[in-house]
């Protein structure tokens, strides 16, 4: 693959460049002054060089150059669609860009700025750059603030508003003139059009959030005098009277209050209870109109599963010019839904099938409650298990859930309920598995709260109660004799996971995403970062009750509830991911994650479902899932040992360079590192215990390449990883496979949906 990339990138890229023309190969923007924001000037570049894979290989242009000149041939057209046409340098557009950049820099306060175009031709190639010569910057000396509407001036004063332009203010003095409505502030801060526009937006935002429904930015304008000398400017900020009124004798700006709020249901009878509608409406009768309340009403209505579309209209009363009546039109969503799924499976040659039926109701109690229930049945014909009478696997399960679009929790402040976008979820599930080796029954129940703020960049999830009950009604004598009771094969971790178990925990999950609201999930090339924090603990309440009631431990040393031992542990997970955008086609993503889980009190081993594993499509990709670690542990005969290759500590470090190829195809080059460890030493996992003086030697490393099919709403991912450092071996040839690669031994292929982090 690398040879093909190098071959294509080295093709004769000037093949389709006309005579007396140049192929644009590089552009740059630089400045003699440090205060010029050259990053903003990139938007004025009229042309950019052809894109490169991983910012190095000029493959798209190479593919295009492979096509013949006869565009009527289908193969040539195919190559041109796959590739990228050469970017021919256009000097006229470059000169126009100079003028645009000069205007932009002058708007930053460098009123005498110049922009030089520099060209460096070499053969058929052209490198060009723009050099900014800003000269001296202008500063604001005085700001005069004038409000022509006297009633509006009193409102602005009551809001405590003063034009500050930006946070770079050095000194300020005020000279109010109550008769003229003018205030003067003496400042020393950089002058820029951006600062003036930001000030206009700040005042506009304050007014539309305090009743001024018809106020717009055009009522605010500036007069700037740059002739005062010493590279200074005097600014007058003027709020004009309202000349848009139909009654020209009334030039004042009016504040508006909310009048009546009515709900219409698009030709249907009301399908939501009045209380639900009121809670989903941020507008309140009698209060000042606020633009933010209008946006919040749309956001709340859109979250209701029973509502398909919302239209909020305001009408000014004819007999009362300062009152707005609100009409909210709601279109109902389809209430009931049914679905069926049929699956076919093949597990190591054992064929099976599964069928599931689902029902959903989006408005169960006329409060936009979302109810769903799913029935599933599965069968698999298992062959090749010696010593077992039954050779089939049968499973059936039922899952049900109910979601409320608010907090079902007492003692919460009304302000918190209004500002948080919350859901309350109740989920129950029962799963029955009959295998040749054992029968297992699992009952789970969760009471969960989710909420986020208006910007939705911070998300919270709190599982107030999460119960898992695992019951083993039958274990075959063959399985018990071979794996659970045989002293030579006895495994504490394995045995623990085939006992009856009760888990009662609570957990809190926090996510902060700096990516702007509404950005596409597939837009993974932004300069954004994500922080995740998960805290979980189990068994503490039950352990406290056992101790306070002087309960007796059973023969195995555990307290039990209903004759079943309950798990007790604490778990903490932290992860951080940061993206760096180089250009529209290339970015770098870095990821670090650390997890620690500690069994204590009534447990010496974590439940299998709570233990960590390493390897796989979202971890160290040189290893298949659950095949790495813990520490330097090596599975039996090099095979995966699912029980023993688990741990209490996990570390993941990832770096991935992402690039766009063509069409929907993206590529990646990555380096992964990490492993898992146990906190305690288990004889079944030699070399797996975490030790501060040794763990860094046990960090596994892999590298590889990946392809992604990016369809915006979802991503199909294909990754191929190679082992670079393998901690399971001590001899150099196997410990450092990067120096002694063996494709059959070291390569692992992964297929997944979504990005790895």
564-591: pLDDT as tens digits: 889 999 999 999 999 988 888 889 999 9
pLDDT value, residue 8 = 55
Q: Determine phi and psi for 321, rounding to 5 degrees.
A: -70, -10
Q: Of 607, 717, 620, whose CA–CA distance to 675 is shortest?
A: 620
Tell me what pLDDT residue 35 has.
83
pLDDT of 55 over the 50 cut: yes
| Statement: residue 318 has pLDDT above 90 | no
* Predicted pLDDT of residue 530: 92
Please give the model's pTM, rounded to 2 decimal places: 0.82
Which residue in 22, 23, 67, 30 sits closest to 49, CA to CA? 23
Q: Taking the CB of residue 237, how many other CB atoms lie within 10 A of it?
A: 23
Is 651 buried (19+), middle (13-18) or exposed (0-12) by CB count in 10 A?
buried
Alpha carbon distance 635, 640 (integer Å) = 6
Mean pLDDT is lowest, of 3-17, 173-187, 270-284, for 173-187
Instruction: Provide the pLDDT confidence category of residue 181 given band limits of 50, 70 and 90.
Output: low
Query: Which tops the pLDDT comparison, 548 or 383?
Result: 548
Calculate the CA dihedral of residues 242, 243, 246, 250 and round it to 10 degrees. Answer: 60
Cα–Cα distance measured from residue 437 to residue 567, given in angstroms and rounded to the nearest whole number = 24
Check if the beta carbon of residue 446 is closer than 8 Å to that of residue 468: no
Burial class (CB in 10 A: 0-12, 13-18, 19+), 626: buried
Contact 277, 301 (CB under 8 A): no
Q: Give 606-630 as a DSSP string.
A: --GGGSB-B-STTS-TTS-TT-B-S
Please state the rounded mean pLDDT for residues 610-627. 91
Least confident window among 80-94, 95-109, 515-529? 515-529
- % of the chain beyond a pLDDT of 90: 52
For 515-534+570-604+611-757, CATH number out of 2.40.160.50, 3.40.50.1010, 3.90.1150.10, 2.40.50.140 equals 2.40.160.50
Average pLDDT for 537-543 = 93
Provide the total of helices (H) and of strands (E) in the chain, helices listed first. Answer: 15, 29
CA distance 499 to 470: 8
Helix (H) or strand (E) holding 279: helix 274-279
pLDDT band at 456 (very low <50, low <70, confident <90, very high): confident
Which residues are CB-contacts of 27 (< 8 A; sequence separation ≥ 6)?
45, 47, 48, 49, 127, 128, 129, 130
Q: What is the mean pLDDT of residues 638-647?
A: 73
User: Looking at the chain, which residues constitute the CATH 3.10.20.310 domain(s)?
Assistant: 257-332
Q: Are strands 700-710 and 715-725 parallel, antiparallel or unpaired?
A: antiparallel
Q: Look at residue 174 in the predicted model and tell me its pLDDT.
A: 46
Please check the confidence at residue 723 and state whether its pLDDT lies above 90.
Answer: yes
Which pLDDT band, with edges at 50, 70 and 90, does 478 fall under?
confident
User: What pLDDT score does 4 carry?
Assistant: 59
Closest C-alpha to 231, from 133, 113, 132, 114: 113
CA 533 to chain centroid, in Å, comes to 14
Tokens at residue 75, please? 């193969």
Cβ–Cβ contacts within 10 Å for residue 230, how many? 8
Radius of gyration (C-alpha) of the chain in whole angstroms: 34
Mean pLDDT on 678-686: 87
Cβ atoms of 371 and 401 closer than 8 Å: yes
CA 295 to chain centre: 23
Question: Which carries the bigger pLDDT value, residue 306 or residue 437?
Answer: 306
Q: pLDDT value at position 168? A: 43
Which residues in the chain are classed under CATH 2.40.160.50?
A: 515-534+570-604+611-757
The predicted-structure confidence for 646-678, as pLDDT tens digits, reads as follows 899 999 999 999 998 877 889 999 999 999 999
Higher pLDDT, 250 or 177: 250
Burial of 699 (0-12, 13-18, 19+ CB in 10 A): middle
* Rounded distance between C-alpha atoms, residue 711 and residue 753, angstroms: 11
Q: Which pLDDT score, from 0 to 100, does residue 120 have? A: 93
For residue 297, name the pLDDT band (cuts at 50, 70, 90): very high
DSSP 516: P
Q: Give yes or no for residue 162 having a pLDDT over 60.
A: yes
Q: Does residue 741 carry a pLDDT above 80? A: yes
Class of domain 257-332: alpha beta
């Amino acid at each position: 693959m690398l040879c093909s990339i190098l071959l294509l990138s080295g093709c004769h890229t000037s093949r389709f460049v006309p005579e007396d023309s140049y192929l644009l190969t590089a552009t740059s923007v630089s400045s003699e002054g440090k205060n010029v924001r050259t990053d903003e000037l990139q938007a004025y570049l009229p042309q950019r060089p052809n894109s490169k894979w991983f910012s190095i290989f000029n493959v798209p242009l190479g593919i295009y150059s492979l096509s013949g000149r006869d565009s009527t041939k289908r193969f040539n057209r195919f190559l041109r669609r796959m590739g990228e046409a050469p970017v021919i340098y256009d000097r006229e557009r470059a000169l126009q860009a100079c003028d645009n950049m000069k205007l932009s820099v002058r708007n930053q306060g460098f009123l005498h700025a110049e922009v030089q175009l520099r060209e460096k031709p070499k053969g058929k190639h052209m490198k060009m750059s723009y050099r900014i010569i800003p000269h001296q910057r202008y500063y604001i000396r005085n700001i005069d603030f004038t409000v022509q509407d006297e009633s509006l001036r009193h409102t602005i004063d009551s809001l405590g508003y003063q034009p500050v332009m930006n946070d770079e203010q050095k000194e300020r003095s005020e000279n109010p003139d109550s008769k003229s409505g003018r205030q003067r502030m003496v400042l020393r801060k950089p002058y820029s059009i951006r600062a003036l526009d930001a000030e206009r937006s700040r005042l506009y935002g304050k007014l539309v959030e305090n009743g001024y429904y018809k106020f717009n930015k055009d009522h605010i304008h500036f007069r700037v005098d740059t002739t005062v000398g010493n590279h200074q400017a005097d600014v007058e900020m003027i709020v004009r009277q309202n000349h848009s009124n139909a009654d020209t004798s009334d030039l004042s700006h009016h504040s508006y209050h909310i009048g009546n709020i009515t709900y219409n249901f698009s030709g249907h009878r009301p399908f939501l209870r009045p209380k639900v509608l009121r809670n989903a409406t941020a507008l309140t009768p009698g209060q000042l109109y606020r633009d933010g309340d209008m946006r919040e009403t749309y956001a709340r209505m859109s979250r209701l599963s029973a509502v398909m579309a919302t239209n909020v209209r305001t009408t000014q009363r004819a007999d009362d010019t300062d009152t707005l009546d609100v009409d909210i039109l709601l279109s109902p969503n389809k209430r009931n839904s049914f679905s069926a799924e049929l699956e076919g499976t093949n597990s190591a040659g054992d064929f099976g099938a599964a069928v599931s039926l689902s029902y959903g109701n989006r408005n169960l109690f006329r409060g936009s409650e979302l109810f769903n229930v799913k029935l599933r049945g599965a069968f698999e014909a298992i062959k090749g298990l010696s010593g077992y009478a039954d050779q089939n696997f049968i499973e059936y399960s039922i899952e049900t859930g109910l979601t409320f679009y608010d907090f079902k929790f007492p003692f919460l402040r009304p302000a918190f309920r209004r500002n948080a976008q919350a859901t309350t979820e109740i989920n129950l599930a029962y799963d029955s598995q009959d295998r040749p080796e054992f029968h297992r029954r699992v009952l789970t129940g969760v009471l969960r709260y989710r909420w986020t703020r208006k910007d939705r960049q911070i998300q919270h999830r709190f599982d107030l109660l999460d119960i898992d009950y695992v019951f083993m009604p039958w274990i075959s004598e063959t399985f018990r004799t071979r794996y659970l009771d045989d002293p030579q094969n006895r495994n504490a971790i394995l045995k623990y996971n085939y006992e009856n178990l009760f888990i009662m925990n609570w957990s809190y999950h926090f996510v902060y995403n700096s990516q702007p609201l509404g950005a596409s999930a597939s837009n993974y090339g932004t300069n954004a970062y994500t922080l995740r924090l998960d805290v979980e603990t189990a068994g503490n309440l039950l352990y406290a009750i056992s101790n306070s009631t002087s309960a007796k431990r059973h023969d195995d040393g555990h307290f039990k509830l209903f004759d079943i031992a309950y798990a007790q542990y604490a778990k903490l997970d932290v992860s951080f991911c940061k993206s760096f955008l180089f250009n529209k086609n290339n970015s770098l993503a870095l990821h670090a994650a650390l997890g620690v889980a500690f069994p204590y009190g009534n447990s010496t081993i974590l439940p299998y479902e709570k233990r960590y594993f390493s390897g796989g499509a979202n971890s160290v990709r040189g290893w298949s899932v659950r095949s790495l670690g813990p520490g330097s542990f090596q599975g039996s005969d090099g095979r995966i040992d699912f029980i023993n290759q688990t741990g209490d500590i996990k570390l993941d470090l990832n770096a991935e360079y992402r690039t766009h190829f063509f069409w929907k195809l993206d590529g990646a080059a990555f380096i992964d590192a990490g492993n898992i460890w146990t906190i305690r030493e288990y004889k079944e996992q030699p070399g797996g215990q975490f030790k501060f003086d040794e763990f860094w030697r046990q960090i596994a490393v892999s590298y590889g390449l990946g392809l992604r099919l990016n369809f915006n709403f979802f991503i199909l991912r294909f990754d191929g990883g190679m082992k670079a450092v393998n901690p399971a071996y001590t001899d150099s040839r196997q410990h450092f496979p990067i120096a002694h690669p063996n494709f059959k031994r070291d390569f692992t292929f992964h297929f997944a949906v979504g990005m790895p982090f």
